[in-house]
Each structure stands twice: as structure tokens, then as C-alpha cells.
Amino acid sequence: MIKALAAVKKQIEEINEYEKRIGPDCNLSQFQVTLENFNKLRQAQNAVILAKQSKANSGKIVEPTEAQLVANFIEWLKGKGFDESKCKVKIDRNTSEGTGLVATQDIKEGEDFVEIPSNLFITTAVAFQGLGKPPILENDRLIQSIPGILLSIFLVKELSNPTSEWGPYIKLLPKQYNTVYYWGLKEFTQFRGSPNLEYAMRYVRGAMRQYCYLYSMIDRTQSNIMPISSFTWDAFVWAISTVQSRQNPVYAGNGNGSIMALIPFWDFCNHSSTGSKITSFYHMDSNCMTSGAIKDFKKGEQVYMFYGPRDNTQLLMHAGFATKTNLHDSYPFELHLLEGNHEIRHDKVHLLEERGIRDGVVVNLNQNPTSNELPLELIPFYRIYALSEQETRAIAPPQVPGEHNHHHGHQLELKPLAFKIITQENEEKAYSNLVQALKGKLASYPTTLEEDEQELKKNPPANQRFILYTKINEKKILDRNIKYLESLIKKGVMNVTFKLPELVEHTEHANHDHEHGDNCNHEDHGSHGHSHGGDDSHGHSHGGNDNHNHSHGGHGHSHQHGANCNH
């Protein structure tokens, strides 16, 4: 076993060296090596597990049935204060999404169907206590910035604890998820052409780096946190998938705001994309979480929640599912100037900033575009993009030698100047260049929309099906925006009218630099959803910065559901 552990440490060292060498961004070929390295790590860790099992020489373990698991869980809940008389739903392990909640009686819209007392919550405070309050975790910057990691470490420890206090809950959780961490090269290759492939690779690599860092930390504690042999990549992937898909902020107590928590039973409720409002609330007076019905449900029907407006990319990356029809879907489109003449490009950056637009900003294209729903930055950006060198020099402010008065990378606020037409010729070029850019994005996919739809009819495995849902919707959004813009060009771009926002022209002394539209920080690893395993895994998402307005005992706190998810 000592040799097996040494092989694990050596593989982690090799992974760290490779990841440092290729840097923060990588292509698919480089990422393939990353996946291969972690497969080698899994093999090395499986050898450790086999060595432990051989040493233990334990007899055959009789696994409980699904009915026994559910019954044990309900008894455990009641032992911790769960009032079954206030519950109008039951756990069903065989819904189309896997595990879900089914109505045990008719439920009216707005009627509470479940109440969970706070002593059932697995909060970050509970996790820290359960891990033995190690100072090394309390003071760690990574854990301070991403509290969900603490919950993940705790779950890994409890997963390997046969007498865990939380065992009845953990045993009912999915054994595996459809999150991006479980993807192989086939899934990432299938995602080619999508603007989110790079994000998906970076997201997984971020988790891999976190794991290597935490492994070394736990190893240094000499098993004070848990035996290092228990902290495997497979266990960590399961834990972070559980946490990112299920965690939710709850009241911390003593006026200390909110902390992240897992909420047993409540978190088995699946998502409905047809909902329109959040109906889960934490009540400080009774220290419990309740959920109300988003619509009328008949006895025997599955009861759903609405987790807020999530596009398929958010759901796919963080929750392990995507929906075929998603009213909240969008296409992330980066507005980026071409490389070329440095001086001209520099002038164009300045012209953009005068209009309150940053080069490189990402806007979201709507799936049903109208003149009022095109991103505000879109046409103003392409007006500057379309300027010739001569036109740029004619309107750009003079460059002062030795001065660098640009806001590169800083936040900006759209200004009225952004919505002023430069010339008719420029306006026509702006629309034409935008259409060509969108057509270029559509052509970058290795498959057509028709081919994807045919592939979907073959009923592929869940992960591949969810990727197809995402890509099909991306292509439809691009196609609809292209056709819409072409219709505007046909009518005459000078006849296009937009409903403009109310903007205030700030003076030089105001310096109110706020970012509008650049909401795509794809580095973070917060909670985005809830995957219950099963085939379609339409899980539960209270992740991201969506201000779901969970009322805490009447205080009306507006909470961002899931830390570090600026998506």
C-alpha cells in the first residue's frame, strides 16, 4: 500500500508540472493529455483502494434496497425534527430525471409542500466542525473564496465513514452525476464549435488544480482531516458535483448574513423551466426552509421548483443537464476588435471607451431577437469595428506621447454617444460586418443543425444528448439573429429604431465606471444547479448571481444563489 500511495503522489506531481507548463488556456489536444493524466491518477488510486480492501479482507456487504434507503432517510429526518405532517410530497426514485418529489395530495399554487428545520442543514459551519476545526482549512484562501470546497471535503470524509451521522442522506444521493467532471474526450470533442468549449475545459482544469492543491494540504496534516487514501479524485468529483448542484445560502445566525448549505430532502426537488418565480424561503422566526408550489399539482404528479433563469450552458456545466426547450437560453458573443495596425486598433479602443464599451466584452444574444432585445453594445461596437483607417484617424482623439489614458480592462458605462450614427455608409458596414461575424460563428461548428437534430433522434447517452440540446439551441440562436439582422438590412439600416435606455452623460470628474453586459467571468466554481443522476438529471439550481430574493423571516434579503458564479 505504501508503494501504491507513492505512485499516487508521483502522478499528482506530474499533473501539476504539466498544468503549469501549458498555462491557463489550452487547446483540445493539450486537454486530452490532461484527461489521460487524471485517468492514470484514478488507476493509481484504485490500486490503493484494492490494497486496503485486501488488507481488510471483509466479507460481502449486503446493500439495502431502494425502498429501505428511502425509509431509513425518512426516519433519520424525523429523528432530527422533520415534521412529516407538514410534508405534501414523497421521494420517488424513478422519475424521468432520476430522483424527484411526487405529490401525496393535491397542492394549490403557492401552497407550502415541505418544511425543513435548520438542524438538518449541512452548512459550512457544520462541515468545519465535522472536520475537526483544522486551522489549515480555516485560514486557507481557496476555501475562504469558495466556501463550497469546505462542504466538498466534508462530504468526501463522510462518504468513507460507515457510521457517519449524515449517512442516510449521503446514501440516497446519486452515485454519479452528469456534470462536466464526468465527461470524457468524446463529450469535449462533441462540444467543438461551441463558444463554451474553452470554458468547459478551463472549468474542469480548475477543479483538477484544486484537487491537487487540497490533496497536498491534507497529506501534510498526517491524516488529521481524513486518511489521504480516502481523498481520491473520484470521491472529490462526486463531492463537488453534489455541492455545486445542491448548495444554497441560508441564514448564518447572529446577524452574520448567509452561509452555504446542503438541505436534505428539499434538494431532491427538480427544476421546471416553465416556472417564473422563486418559491423557497428561509424563515428566521422558525429557523426552517419552506417551498411553495409554482403551480397546481395533482396527487401523484411530480412537484417541481423554478430555480431562476438559467441558460443551458449554466445548467450543463454545473448541474449536469440541459433542457431541449429553454426559454432562458442565450448565446455568449464576444465583441473583439481585429488585430492589425496597432495604432489604429489603439484609437478604436479609445473610441469604444468614449462610448462606454470595452473591447472584449461578452454579450448574450437573445433566442428571439427584436430591435429592443439586441444587446445594447452590439451595433455601437460594430460601428467602430467597421471604421476604415482614414475614418478612425478622422474622429479619434489625438494620442499624447507618454500618456496612456485608456481604461483597458476596466469597467465602463454605456454613454449616449454610443447610440449616435456616424455615417450611413458606416452604419451599413456595421450591420454587414456583424452578420458576417455571426455567420462565421455558425460555420465554426463541425456539424450542421440538421445533423445534430438527426443525431438527437438516435437517443444518445445523457451527456451527449445534453450537449446536443445546447449546441442545437446555440445554432438556432445564431441563425435567428442572422436572419433578423438581414431583415433590418433589407429594410434599410437607417430606418432601424431602437428603444434606448435612459443614460446620463457623465462629466470627466464623475468617473462612474460600471460594467454593463460583461457578465461572463468563466473562472469561478460556484453552485450551479442540482443533478439527481438518472437519465435526464434535470436537477436543482440555486447557483449563480441571480438574486433569487429568498426572504429570510420577512427581512426580504436578496440573495445571490451560489458563491463565485459570475456567469
- From the list 404, 485, 499, the residue with the least C-alpha distance to 442 is 485
CA–CA dist 310, 540 (Å, integer): 11
**In the chain, how many domains are there?**
3
Residues 171 and 224 in one domain: yes
Domain of 177, CATH number, reads: 3.90.1410.10
Q: Which of residues 473, 495, 517 is at a domain's end?
A: 495
Angle, helices 424-443 vs 462-491, to 10°: value is 160
Query: In this structure, is residue 516 part of a structural domain?
Result: no
pLDDT value at residue 527: 34
Q: Are residues 101 and 248 in the same domain?
A: yes
Q: Which amino acid is at 137?
A: L
| pLDDT, position 137 | 92
Residue 411 pLDDT: 61
Tell me, yes or no, whether 341 and 438 share the same domain.
Answer: yes
- The per-residue pLDDT for 517 is 36
Contact criterion met (CB below 8 Å) for 368 and 480: yes
C-alpha count within 13 angstroms, C-beta hemisphere, residue 458: 9
Find out whether 316 and 374 touch, Cβ atoms under 8 Å. no
CA 88 to each of CA 99, 307, 424: distance values in angstroms, whole numbers, following the listed order: 16, 20, 63
pLDDT value at residue 503: 63
**Is residue 122 in a domain?**
yes
The distance of Cα 268 from the centroid of its chain, to the nearest Å, equals 19
Q: So what's the pLDDT on residue 56?
A: 63
Q: Is 348 within the bounds of a domain? A: yes
Domain of residue 31, residue span: 1-53
Residue 216, C-alpha cell as written in the block? 497536498
Beta carbons within 10 angstroms of residue 108's beta carbon: 11
Element (H, E) at 394: helix 389-395
297 and 335 fall within a common domain? no
Residues 6+ apart with CB under 8 A from 210: 142, 149, 525
Q: For residue 106, what are the contacts with CB-CB under 8 A and spacing of at least 6?
A: 296, 297, 298, 299
What's at 272, amino acid-wise?
S
Q: Tell whether 519 is covered by a domain.
A: no
Instruction: Assess if residue 517 is contained within a domain.
Output: no
What local confidence, expressed as pLDDT, does residue 401 receive?
A: 62
Q: In what order do the strands lie in the sheet with 302-305?
A: 89-95, 98-103, 302-305, 270-271
C-alpha cell at 358: 470595452
Residue type at 483 in one-letter notation: K
Can you tell me which residue has the cell 419552506? 290
Query: Has residue 518 been placed in a domain?
Result: no
CB 316 within 8 A of CB 466: yes
Query: Which residues does 178 contact at the CB level (< 8 Å), separation at least 6?
Result: 320, 321, 462, 463, 466, 531, 533, 537
Q: What is the pLDDT along the chain (567 residues), one digit of tens a residue?
A: 788 889 999 999 999 999 999 999 899 999 999 999 999 999 999 988 887 776 666 566 788 999 999 999 999 999 999 999 999 999 999 998 889 999 999 999 999 999 999 999 999 999 999 999 999 999 999 999 999 999 999 999 999 999 999 999 999 999 999 999 999 999 999 999 999 999 999 999 999 999 999 999 999 887 689 999 999 999 999 999 999 999 988 888 776 788 999 999 999 999 887 777 888 999 888 889 999 999 999 999 999 998 888 889 888 988 899 989 888 899 999 999 988 888 999 999 999 999 999 999 999 999 888 766 899 999 999 999 999 999 999 998 877 665 555 555 556 789 999 999 999 999 999 999 999 999 999 999 999 999 999 999 999 999 999 999 999 999 999 999 999 999 999 999 998 887 777 765 554 433 433 333 333 333 333 333 344 444 444 444 343 333 333 333 333 333 333 333 333
DSSP assignment letter at 161: -
Residues 182 and 49 grouped into a single domain: no
Tell me, yes or no, whether 32 and 97 share the same domain.
Answer: no
Tens of pLDDT, residue by residue over 245-295, are 999 888 887 767 889 999 999 999 998 877 778 889 998 888 899 999 999
Is residue 295 domain-resident? Answer: yes
Do 2 and 118 sit in the same domain of this protein?
no
Cα 95 to Cα 107: distance, rounded to the nearest angstrom:
19
| 444/542 same-domain check | no
Residue 536 is assigned to a structural domain of this protein: yes
CA distances from 114 to 85, 87, 174, 303 (A): 9, 5, 21, 11
Residue 142 CB-density burial (10 A; 0-12 exposed, 13-18 middle, 19+ buried): middle
CATH number of the domain encompassing residue 447: 3.90.1420.10
| Residue reference for cell 469535449 | 188
pLDDT for position 233: 97
Pair 251, 553: CB distance under 8 Å: yes
Q: Are residues 255 and 363 in the same domain?
A: no
Four-residue CA torsion sign, 171, 172, 175, 178: negative
**Are the CB atoms for 315 and 323 separated by under 8 Å?**
yes
Q: Could you give the CA distance from residue 90 to residue 228 in angstroms, rounded to a whole number?
A: 38
Please tell me the predicted confidence (pLDDT) of residue 562: 33
Could you give the C-alpha distances from 143 to 71, 128, 150, 513, in angstroms and in order?
35, 11, 6, 30
- For helices 148-159 and 197-220, the axis angle rounded to 10 degrees is 60
Q: Are residues 118 and 259 in the same domain?
A: yes
Residues 20 and 76 both lie in one domain: no
H or E, element range at 310: none
Last residue of a domain, one of 11, 32, 53: 53
89 and 144, same domain (yes or no): yes
Q: Which three cell numbers stand for residue 125?
A: 459551519
300, 163 Cβ separation under 8 angstroms? no
The rounded distance, in Å, linking the Cα atoms of 242 and 448 is 34
